[in-house]
């Protein structure tokens, strides 16, 4: 019933910027906590940023001041604006609903590669 689709990933040079988008179908994003997670090869999936139904946000220490999570209730989308990107940010980024507790609460992921 719920489908989350991420897009906007790609190759970017260190110091560059990239915006990721998450389109939700079968769910109203404003009614759920929404988050962005990432997973690098050989590493655990980690929370990058999340936004509550009330609009409050939280960020991992590693991305504070560089990333911004936002929500568009009209378009039913969630965004992750990434600035001052570092090679360490290279990972597959996932959009998730309700902390990703259910399998269908996750998107398919989009690859972000920060490199020259």
Secondary structure of 100-114 in the HEC alphabet? HCCHHHECCCEEEEE
How far, in Å, CA of 85 to CA of 77, rounded? 22
Closest CA to 82 of 36, 17, 35: 17
What is the chain's mean pLDDT, rounded?
Answer: 96
For residue 47, the tally of other CB atoms under 10 A from its CB is 15
Of 25-29, 50-54, 69-73, 85-89, the one with minimum mean pLDDT is 25-29
pLDDT at 1 (0 to 100): 79
Rg (CA), the chain: 13
Is 94 buried (19+), middle (13-18) or exposed (0-12) by CB count in 10 A?
A: buried
Kindly report, residue by residue over 35-71, the tens digit of the pLDDT. 999 999 999 999 999 999 999 999 999 999 999 999 9
Alpha carbon dihedral 69, 75, 77, 82, in 10-degree steps, equals -40
């Amino acid at each position: 019933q719920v489908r989350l689709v991420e897009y906007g990933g790609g190759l970017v040079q260190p110091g560059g910027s990239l915006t990721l988008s998450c389109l939700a179908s079968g769910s109203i994003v404003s009614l759920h906590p929404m988050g962005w997670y990432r997973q690098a090869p050989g590493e655990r999936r980690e929370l990058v940023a999340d936004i509550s139904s009330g609009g409050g946000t939280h960020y991992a220490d590693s991305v504070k001041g560089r990333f911004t999570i936002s929500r568009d209730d009209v378009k039913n989308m969630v965004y992750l604006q990434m600035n001052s990107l570092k090679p360490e940010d290279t990972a597959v980024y996932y959009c998730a609903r309700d902390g990703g507790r259910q399998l269908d609460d996750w998107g398919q992921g989009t690859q972000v590669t920060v490199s020259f």
